Amino acid sequence: MPASTLHALSQELEAVESSASNKLFDDLLSTYYTPLEVWYTRSAVDKVLSFFFFVLDDAEVGFVGAPPFDPRYDYITNNNDDAR
């Protein structure tokens, strides 16, 4: 690109960056969009993690209430004779 074209582009960029609409857009972006985007991301991650931990807790339920292995108890309950 010729130098005159680059100079014209830089002048146009300066005009856009110094405009009132650009300042308003930057203000709206930093005031509303960014905090809402952060909130949405946190809530989405929280939902995924809570589902993940729910699935893990649900998978462990069978193991939490299981009685300890006792061969004497198994032998007595599985055989009808009194083996004490």
pLDDT digits (tens, 9 = 90+) for 41-55: 998 888 888 877 766
Report yes or no on 25 lying in a domain: yes
What pLDDT, on a 0 to 100 scale, did the predictor assign at position 29? 93
% of the chain with per-residue pLDDT over 70: 62
| 72 pLDDT higher than 90 | no
User: Domain limits at 62?
Assistant: 20-78
Residue 49 lies in a domain: yes
- What's the confidence (pLDDT) of residue 27? 94
Indicate the number of domains in the chain.
1
Q: What is the DSSP string of 32-71?
A: IIHHHHHHHHHHHHHHHHHHHHHHHHHHHHHHHSPPPP-H
**Lowest mean pLDDT, pick from 33-37, 48-52, 67-71:** 67-71
In a domain, 83, yes or no: no
User: What is the average pLDDT across 10-30?
Assistant: 91
